[in-house]
Each structure stands twice: as structure tokens, then as C-alpha cells.
Copies of this chain bind each other. A is one copy, B any other.
Amino acid sequence: MPTDVRPYNRDVIIRAFEDEDWPQVWPIIREVVRAKDTFTYDPEMTEEQARADWIAPAGGLGLTGTAEMDRNRPGPGAHVSTASFMVAADARGRGVGRALVGYALDWGRKRGYAGMQFNAVAASNVHAVHLYESLGFRIVGTVPGAFEHPTLGRVGLHVMYHDFAAD
């Protein structure tokens, strides 16, 4: 039962996470964090930790890709949203990521957030950076060498922001 089909990619059906999706979502997360080339997560994270981090915040999305959306900070920072995305290795290059980012942006706008912030985008993840820029994010700044890439060594970590008022 798709609850939302976005115009970003007609071939990607996006729907809310259901408990029985987890056996398909966990392998995506496991592959991404074990690769250590995009996320500043503990590469040894367990299935239980992954589920707590990814599904708990505000509901995730799954199967060939998965997203989680949340407010970025509490208190005086609670009007800015954030999101994270992972796409299964064998499903990349088909627009799944673009569909997920578009969905997350709609999610944030509908809830009245002022914008969406990404706190730590590896500068080496050029496909993701270009995708985010094409969807209205800009690089606010880059912390030099803050990401230890398994083959490239230390690369920058971008902070990126999409101001919904500028849409």
C-alpha cells in the first residue's frame, strides 16, 4: 500500500516503514556502514543499534533504499529538519536516492520546518553532493579532513542546507 508516490521518479514507490520491512532494510544499512565510505556511523553497529538509530526517529522508508527524517536539534534548533538516506548497492543509479530526498523534503515542508540540514556529507561522496545540490541544497561549509575514507584517506565533511523559504 503506497501512501505516497512522488513525481521525482515514477518507478520508485515510497511508503512508510512497517515492521516486516526490517529484514530487507537492515542489509542495506549494514552494507553502507560496513563500507565506511559515506556515513559517520560506527561500522560495527549491531542490528539492534541500527534499528534504534534509523527507525526510531520519525519512521523510515525501505526495501531498495531507506530514509529517516527528524528534527535536527531540540530546543532552539527544533525548527530545522534533517534526513539521512541509504540505497542498496545493487539499486544505485536508478533514481532511488533522488526520490527519497524529494520525499524527505516534502516531509519537512509539510511539517512546517524552516529548512533541512545535513550535518556530515562526505566530500568524496560526489554523487550525493551533486544530487543534493540539484535539489536545492548548498554547501554551508566543509570541515577539513573530518571523514576518514577507507581508500582516499581524510576528506572533508560538508554541512549542507536547504532553506524552504527560498523554494
Contact = CB atoms under 8 A, between A and B. Distances in A.
Interface of A: 33, 36-37, 39-43, 72-80, 114-115, 117, 119-120, 122, 139-150, 154, 157, 159, 161, 163
B73 A120 contact: yes
Given A42-B75, A43-B75, A77-B157, A141 B144 contact: no
Contacts of A42: 74-75
B120 A143 contact: no
Contacts of A41: 74-75
Contact of A119 (B119, B154, B163): B119
A74 B150 CA distance: 14
Nearest to A80: B146
Contacts of A114: 145-146, 154
A120 B75 CA distance: 12
13 contacts: A40-B73, A42-B74, A73-B146, A76-B122, A77-B146, A79-B146, A79-B148, A80-B146, A114-B146, A114-B154, A115-B143, A141-B142, A144-B161
A159 B146 CA distance: 13
Given A75-B40, A77-B120, A119-B119, A143 B146 contact: no
A76 B141 contact: no
Contact of A36 (B76, B120, B140): B76
